[in-house]
């Protein structure tokens, strides 16, 4: 019990700290760069980081869910990932030189080292996740992101413009890798056994394709908007996405890092796995869903107040994205459950198809709607994929649709009742932005708590039972 709480506290410390840091630095970037220059930097990072995350997933989760990985598995994954990403970096460099504009290509060149750094770091992360050493993982993230942010802010002060965002990401990756290199027990030896690498890839490629379908979407939408709507639309969309993605990352990423080993230990007992899924979904939805529904209600007053009136076009996209994220938070543990039972390719076609559809919608609607086209595409993807995910979970894990709905029904109803109260205050209270935001937040928390207690009086007992079990 105490060990579980300690691990969760380290995860929470890391994610909350990083979110606050990201909010501060993004605020500075938005103030000093403006929509167009910010959009250019986001385009460059979308290209490089999207590819980096795909190759990180190729081996990391496969090593985590492996019953007994050998040292050769880790060594082969390390060197295989390094060789693959180094070759890919050369391809991207040549493509950027041939096809991209000079300002964008220059930013891509500076960002390219992130590719091999991410791939090699993921092997250390996999071992530490297996060992439950979340303290070192948290320290790595906090050190890398903090120093990267300070470096980026220094570059902004020095007048380096959009290159500051690339500098932040690059320094963060270098220091994050160095922290694990010094602090972790793992030391790579030159062993690249193709049978070990192939076995890991056979498990990891569906995860990598799922990551590709997701990252092709979140990185691809800014790219499509940049082509059809211009850099300013990319800037507006990026602000809206960051407002939603940063708190999601703080809350969801840490939960998933801890959840996969826990779910995997129950892969042989379907009843335990079903119970764990429903209880975990119920517990996390209590906090995640109202956060994003409340954010959707507060955005109209928060964005102009914090970032300035020039960012007003980001308000509606941020609201749409917040609702999409609230819905997706009820499905947080679906991919974890599939991975735990070695069904990583489940719903892969649906994921890839809906991602491609979202990019097409963005391309068609982008010239007219701008940033809103990307947000609507994300919402439609979530809604279209939802019934397929429900059916797949019933087929693979054995949890029927009614049980899945029952786990989140009280939270969804209470959250949207809360949203009605908060929206009424934001629209009708003629006070300063600070006072109105504080009042709306207080009323929202009270409305959610009262509504949830009326709909599901046992919610606190259920939550306490899950934490202590």
- Looking at the fold, whether 269 and 219 belong to one and the same domain comes out as no
What confidence score (pLDDT) does residue 350 get? 87
- Both 407 and 338 in one domain: the answer is yes
Q: Is the model's pLDDT at 134 over the cut of 50? A: yes
Q: Which residues of 251-261 are buried (b: 16+ CB within 10 A; e: fewer)?
A: bbebbbbbbbb
Rounded to the nearest angstrom, the gap between the alpha carbon of residue 452 and the centroid of all alpha carbons in its chain is 27
| 213 in the same domain as 145 | yes
Helix 254-264 vs helix 134-157: angle between axes, to the nearest 10 degrees? 160
Question: Is residue 250 a part of any domain in this protein?
Answer: no
Same structural domain, 330 and 428: yes
SS3 call for 340: helix
Please indicate, yes or no, whether residues 174 and 308 belong to a single structural domain of this protein: no
- Tell me: do 21 and 143 sit in the same domain: yes
Q: Using one digit for the tens of pLDDT, what is the confidence trace for 150-196? A: 999 999 999 899 999 999 999 999 999 999 999 888 888 777 777 66
CB 231, CB 35: distance < 8 Å:
yes
pLDDT of residue 69: 79
Could you say which DSSP state residue 311 is in?
Answer: G
Residues 177, 89 share a domain: yes
Whether 296 is covered by a domain: the verdict is yes
Last residue of a domain, one of 206, 231, 256: 231
Q: Does any domain span residue 249?
A: no
Amino acid 93: pLDDT:
94
Q: What is the pLDDT of residues 74-118, one digit of tens each?
A: 888 888 889 889 999 999 999 998 888 888 899 999 999 999 999
Residue 63 in this model has a pLDDT that exceeds 70:
yes
Judged by phi (left if over 0) then psi (alpha if -120 to 50, else beta), residue 429 lies in beta
pLDDT tens, position by position, 384-432: 999 999 999 898 888 889 989 988 999 999 999 999 999 998 888 888 8
Is 246 among the domain residues?
no
Of 384, 107, 117, the residue nearest 226 (C-alpha): 107
Do 211 and 315 belong to one domain?
Answer: no
- In a domain? residue 157: yes
Instruction: Please check whether residue 203 is in contact with residue 60, taking contact to mean a CB–CB distance below 8 angstroms.
Output: no
pLDDT score of 272:
83
> Each residue of 400-410: b (16+ CB within 10 Å) or e?
eeeebeebbbb
Clarify whether residues 188 and 275 are in a common domain: no
Q: Identify the pLDDT of residue 109.
A: 95
With H, G, I as helix, E, B as strand and everything else as coil, classify residue 333: coil
Q: What per-residue confidence (pLDDT) applies to 1?
A: 46
pLDDT at 469: 65
Say whether pLDDT at 314 is over 90. yes
Is residue 256 situated within a structural domain? Answer: no
Q: Residue 203's pLDDT is what?
A: 66
Widest distance between CA atoms in the chain:
68
What 8-state DSSP symbol labels residue 17? H
Q: What is the pLDDT of residues 118-128, one digit of tens each?
A: 989 988 988 88
% of the chain exceeding 70 in pLDDT: 90
Residue 308 pLDDT greater than 70, yes or no: yes
Q: Is residue 301 part of a domain?
A: yes
Number of folded domains that form the chain: 2
| pLDDT reading at 265 higher than 60 | yes
More confident residue, 309 or 360: 360
Is the same domain home to 7 and 66?
A: yes
Q: pLDDT digit string (tens) for 181-235?
A: 998 888 887 777 776 667 776 766 776 676 666 777 888 899 899 889 988 898 9
Do the beta carbons of residue 228 and residue 74 sit within 8 Å? Answer: no
- The pLDDT value recorded for residue 427 is 85
Question: What is d(CA 1, CA 159) in angstroms, rounded to the nearest whole number?
Answer: 50
Confidence band of 298 (pLDDT split at 50, 70, 90): very high
Q: At what angle do helices 371-396 and 401-428 cross, to 10 degrees?
A: 150
Please check whether residues 403 and 466 belong to one and the same domain.
yes
Residue 59 scores a pLDDT above 80: no
Pick the closest to residue 277 from 337, 344, 329, 338 (CA basis): 337
Query: pLDDT: is 20 or 113 the higher one?
Result: 113
Question: Is 301 found in the same domain as 199?
Answer: no
- Averaged pLDDT of the chain: 85
Task: Write the DSSP string, 56-113.
Answer: HHHHHHHHHH-SS--HHHHHHHHHHHHHHHHHHHHHHHHHHHHHS-HHHHHHHHHHTT
Show the domain range for 22: 1-231
**pTM for this prediction:** 0.78
pLDDT value, residue 449: 93
pLDDT at 437 over 60: yes
Q: Tell whether 260 is covered by a domain.
A: no
């Amino acid at each position: 019990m105490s060990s579980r709480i300690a691990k969760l506290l380290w995860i929470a410390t890391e994610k909350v700290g990083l979110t606050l840091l990201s909010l501060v630095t993004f605020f500075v970037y938005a103030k000093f760069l403006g929509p167009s220059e910010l959009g250019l930097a986001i385009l460059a990072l979308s290209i490089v980081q999207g590819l980096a995350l795909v190759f990180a997933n190729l081996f990391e989760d496969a090593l985590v869910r492996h019953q007994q990985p050998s040292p050769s598995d880790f060594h082969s994954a390390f060197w295989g990932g390094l060789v693959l990403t180094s070759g890919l970096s050369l391809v991207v460099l040549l493509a950027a030189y041939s096809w991209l504009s000079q300002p964008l290509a220059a930013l891509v060149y500076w960002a390219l080292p992130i590719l091999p750094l991410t791939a090699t770091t993921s092997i250390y992360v996999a071992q530490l996740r297996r060992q439950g050493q979340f303290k070192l993982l948290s320290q790595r993230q906090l050190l890398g992101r903090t120093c990267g942010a300070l470096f980026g802010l220094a570059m902004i002060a020095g007048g380096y413009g959009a290159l500051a965002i690339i500098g932040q990401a690059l320094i963060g990756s270098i220091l994050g890798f160095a922290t694990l290199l010094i602090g972790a027990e793992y030391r790579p030896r030159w062993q690249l056994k193709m049978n070990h690498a192939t076995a890991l890839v056979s498990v990891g490629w569906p995860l990598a394709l799922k990551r590709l379908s997701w990252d092709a979407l979140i990185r691809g939408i800014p790219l499509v908007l940049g082509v059809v709507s211009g850099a300013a639309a990319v800037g507006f969309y990026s602000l809206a996405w960051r407002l939603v993605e940063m708190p999601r990352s703080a809350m969801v990423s840490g939960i998933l890092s801890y959840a996969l080993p826990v779910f995997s230990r129950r892969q042989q007992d379907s009843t335990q796995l079903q119970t764990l899924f429903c209880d975990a979904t119920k517990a996390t939805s209590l906090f995640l869903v109202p956060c994003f529904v409340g954010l959707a209600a507060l955005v109209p007053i928060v964005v102009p107040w914090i970032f300035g009136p020039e960012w007003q076009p980001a308000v509606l996209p941020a609201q749409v994205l917040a609702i999409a994220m609230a819905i997706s938070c009820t499905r947080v543990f679906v991919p974890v459950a599939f991975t735990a039972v070695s069904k990583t390719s489940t719903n892969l076609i649906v994921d890839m198809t809906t991602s491609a559809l979202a990019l097409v919608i963005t391309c068609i609607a982008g010239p007219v709607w701008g940033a809103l086209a990307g947000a609507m595409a994300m919402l439609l993807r979530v809604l279209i994929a939802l019934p397929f995910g429900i059916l797949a979970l019933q087929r693979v894990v054995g949890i029927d649709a009614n049980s899945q709905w029952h786990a989140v029904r009280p939270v969804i109803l209470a959250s949207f009742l809360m949203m009605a109260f908060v929206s009424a205050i934001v629209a009708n209270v003629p006070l300063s932005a600070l006072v109105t935001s504080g009042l709306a937040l207080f009323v929202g928390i009270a409305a959610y708590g009262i509504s949830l207690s009326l709909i599901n009086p046992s919610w606190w007992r259920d939550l306490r039972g899950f934490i202590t079990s």
